Amino acid sequence: MNDVLTAIDLFCGAGGLSLGLGMAGFSVVAAVDNDEIAVRTYRQNLGDHVLQASLTDLPVERLLEAAGLRPGECMLLAGGPPCQGFSVKRRGSRDDPRNDLLLEFFRFVDGIRPHFFLVENVKGLLSKHGRPHLNEFISRADEQGYHCHVGELDAVDFGLPQFRPRAFVVGERKDGGIASASPWQLFPPRSDGL
Give Cα separations from 104 to 80, 82, 88, 128, 177 (angstroms). 12, 11, 22, 21, 23
CA 35-30-125 angle, to 5 degrees, is 60
CB neighbours of 61 closer than 8 A, spacing ≥ 6?
111
**Alpha-carbon distance 86 to 76, whole Å?**
24
Q: How far is CA 42 from the centre of its chain?
A: 17
Instruction: Write down how long the chain is.
Output: 194
Q: What backbone torsions phi and psi does residue 165 show, to the nearest 5 degrees?
A: -70, 140
Q: Let me know if 74 is a catalytic residue.
A: no
CB-based burial label for 140 (10 Å; 0-12, 13-18, 19+): middle
Q: How far from 24 is each of 4, 18, 20, 21, 28, CA to CA, in Å? A: 13, 10, 6, 5, 11
- Of 12, 74, 83, 148, catalytic: 83
Active-site residues, by number, are: 83
